[in-house]
Chain A
């Protein structure tokens, strides 16, 4: 399956990945509308960590042996057979936050609108994840695992 590879030596901390991720998962899918018009403001599923000049963007790693899938009490967290991505069925999720506790990368967050989790879904449906597409310095690349 295709996974997103993080190359911290090229990340410049511009956080454009966070912006485009949020827009991709917003209602309007338009940069200006999503940030100036929508309420609540769209939340990115990718997080840029920064420390001095070291920075990198991290999102769900879609692990082969995902702790979040094991932890999920409702079975909402499951693997998409086609892409191999780990996805959360928002209809089943009850917001127990078990997966947030289990994820060693800490890349699962709480949704703002509904009591469900929020995490990277590999931009399912799009030809390429938004973060990879828009990183100006190719710090995030799509690779075959």
Chain B
């Protein structure tokens, strides 16, 4: 049989009348799609190489380019889609695992789009966020079982409160390792978080020495590979997150291809240049919940109990009992990452098939912890494909304390979710270490855009809260009465713990 031609999914449509042959597209495409034919004075585009990142379209001064999705090449088939056929052919050729980037793109129900919010009308007046103060301030950390006031003299708090993280908005930047993303991208996240009053997460790549000054706004991650973990690292961060799992690839470890391990990455992660950075699937010192408790307290000891220590897990079938165990193990916060969480590199089959949606996971974990009476012992942070401020509001209403965003942050910086992060050729300068490409991400501009995103979403959250007649985020937290499901089955409604539209109190 003949070797198959590589499948392609995009076609470059160029309006030749408007094309001025400036060759910006030729120069800028890291996949060498465009080329200038000097003889014919025309630019030709090899669409087979196009990954659909739209950088050329964005940069074209006369807007003469459109990147279009090709029609499927094969006869229409619900089961044997073009993607399935192409994947099989690809594996027949390579014999290897198909990698991909970003989050699950399969049509599992997105419950955020099946849940609607309430608004106050007659009896409970809505609040105008432009006229009245709205509290979005959020605290992450262990809350005490009871609060005692010392009234002898000037009233003051008698109970000692565990260390807390103070957020100006219930949105934080989720873990993206330096290595999977560029220095400039990390810098922008750090700066935006610091300026806005929220936090960013180092991911499993360690903390670059230039970013130590953002330490007070940094959540440092301790992952299974323990990359870059030193005492200084732990003490520089504001909180420590033990990464046990990740929504995009539950059950397996991280993978940074050797091409992306430059001198700087090598120094930050403390591994040799050019070697693949493989994080093992389990932490090899955590084989039971008791081991996890031991690690949590070891980290607390190392940082003198001054910082919250939390655990991040992927949302899987038994996420509720696992979370309960983690809270009892002493975690100050737990992070649940749903199936739609993103990644720089993961086997496609794992990304698309392993894990459960964060909407349900958040609801069942919150319910379980409340049932057991331990909900106050750890903050619940949820992650995994939060696309809009309404997703955030709904998640908090289901019970989350705060939300981690990553994909949205990248899109704000230019990402068009072409899913080719693992190649290291990100044209937007985000998921690459190629100095030629990383220049394109101006951290000043990226910081501005991230702050704009946080600001925009925070304003929208206030609008939605005001509409519900709520003026403090704490009143929204776990307030499932504000939610109604649309077209969901009984089981789904039960899992989410919400009523169906039409049902009153």
Separation of A14 and B21 alpha carbons in the complex (Å): 13
Is B263 part of the contact surface with A, judged by Cβ < 8 Å? no
Please tell me if the beta carbons of B445 and A12 are within 8 angstroms of each other in the complex.
Answer: no
Please tell me if the beta carbons of A9 and B439 are within 8 angstroms of each other in the complex.
Answer: yes
Is A31 part of the contact surface with B, judged by Cβ < 8 Å? yes
Separation of A59 and B434 alpha carbons in the complex (Å): 27
Report the minimum CB–CB distance from B309 to chain A (whole Å): 37
Contact of B18 among A15, A19, A32 (CB under 8 A): A32
Contact of A53 among B20, B23, B59, B439 (CB under 8 A): B439
Is B110 part of the contact surface with A, judged by Cβ < 8 Å? no
Report the minimum CB–CB distance from B184 to chain A (whole Å): 9
Is A35 part of the contact surface with B, judged by Cβ < 8 Å? yes
| Chain B, 439-454, CB within 8 A of any chain A CB | 439-440, 442, 444-445
Q: A31-B61, A136-B59 are in contact. Are A19 and B22 (CB under 8 A)?
A: yes
Contacts of A11 in B (CB 8 A): 439
Contacts of B17 in A (CB 8 A): 32
Report the minimum CB–CB distance from B443 to chain A (whole Å): 9
| Chain B, 1-26, CB within 8 A of any chain A CB | 17-18, 20-24
Please tell me if the beta carbons of B20 and A16 are within 8 angstroms of each other in the complex.
Answer: no
Contacts of A53 in B (CB 8 A): 434-436, 439
Please tell me if the beta carbons of B436 and A32 are within 8 angstroms of each other in the complex.
Answer: no
Contacts of A10 in B (CB 8 A): 439, 442
Is B62 part of the contact surface with A, judged by Cβ < 8 Å? yes
Contacts of B27 in A (CB 8 A): 13-15
Separation of A11 and B61 alpha carbons in the complex (Å): 16
Q: A19-B61, A31-B61, A53-B435 are in contact. Are A14 and B24 (CB under 8 A)?
A: yes
Report the minimum CB–CB distance from B436 to chain A (whole Å): 4
Is B28 part of the contact surface with A, judged by Cβ < 8 Å? yes
Separation of A42 and B445 alpha carbons in the complex (Å): 31
Give the number of residues in B that approach A within 8 Å (Cβ atoms): 22
Separation of A19 and B445 alpha carbons in the complex (Å): 22
Contacts of A32 in B (CB 8 A): 17-18, 20, 62
Interface string of A100-130 (1 = CB under 8 A from B): 0000000000000000000000000000000
Please tell me if the beta carbons of A35 and B436 are within 8 angstroms of each other in the complex.
Answer: no
Q: A14-B28, A20-B61, A31-B61 are in contact. Are A137 and B18 (CB under 8 A)?
A: no
Report the minimum CB–CB distance from A70 to chain B (whole Å): 36
Closest chain A residue to B60, Cβ basis: A16
Is A82 part of the contact surface with B, judged by Cβ < 8 Å? no
Contact of A35 among B22, B24, B445 (CB under 8 A): B22
Contacts of A13 in B (CB 8 A): 27
Separation of A19 and B64 alpha carbons in the complex (Å): 15
- How many A-B contacts if CB must be within 8 Å? 55
Please tell me if the beta carbons of B61 and A138 are within 8 angstroms of each other in the complex.
Answer: no
Closest chain B residue to A139, Cβ basis: B442
Contacts of B59 in A (CB 8 A): 14, 16, 136
Closest chain A residue to B444, Cβ basis: A138
Report the minimum CB–CB distance from A6 to chain B (whole Å): 14
Please tell me if the beta carbons of A16 and B440 are within 8 angstroms of each other in the complex.
Answer: no
Contacts of A144 in B (CB 8 A): none
Separation of A18 and B27 alpha carbons in the complex (Å): 14
| Chain A, 128-142, CB within 8 A of any chain B CB | 134, 136-139
Report the minimum CB–CB distance from A138 to chain B (whole Å): 5
Closest chain B residue to A34, Cβ basis: B20
Separation of A136 and B482 alpha carbons in the complex (Å): 43
Separation of A19 and B23 alpha carbons in the complex (Å): 10
Please tell me if the beta carbons of B442 and A137 are within 8 angstroms of each other in the complex.
Answer: yes
| Chain B, 102-159, CB within 8 A of any chain A CB | none
Is A64 part of the contact surface with B, judged by Cβ < 8 Å? no
Report the minimum CB–CB distance from B442 to chain A (whole Å): 5
Separation of A44 and B435 alpha carbons in the complex (Å): 27
Report the minimum CB–CB distance from B416 to chain A (whole Å): 15
Contacts of A145 in B (CB 8 A): none
Contacts of A52 in B (CB 8 A): 436
Contacts of A36 in B (CB 8 A): 20
Report the minimum CB–CB distance from A24 to chain B (whole Å): 12
Contacts of B21 in A (CB 8 A): 35
Separation of A31 and B61 alpha carbons in the complex (Å): 8
Contacts of B445 in A (CB 8 A): 137-138
Contact of B20 among A14, A31, A136 (CB under 8 A): A31
Please tell me if the beta carbons of A12 and B28 are within 8 angstroms of each other in the complex.
Answer: yes
Separation of A136 and B136 alpha carbons in the complex (Å): 34
Interface string of B340-382 (1 = CB under 8 A from A): 0000000000000000000000000000000000000000000
Closest chain B residue to A9, Cβ basis: B439
Please tell me if the beta carbons of B440 and A137 are within 8 angstroms of each other in the complex.
Answer: yes
Q: A20-B61, A136-B59 are in contact. Are A15 and B439 (CB under 8 A)?
A: no
Most central of B17, B61, B435 by chain A CB within 10 Å:
B61
Chain A residues with CB under 8 Å of chain B are 9-16, 19-20, 31-32, 34-36, 52-53, 134, 136-139
7 nearest A-B pairs in the assembled complex, by CB-CB distance? A35-B20, A53-B436, A53-B435, A12-B440, A10-B442, A137-B442, A14-B24
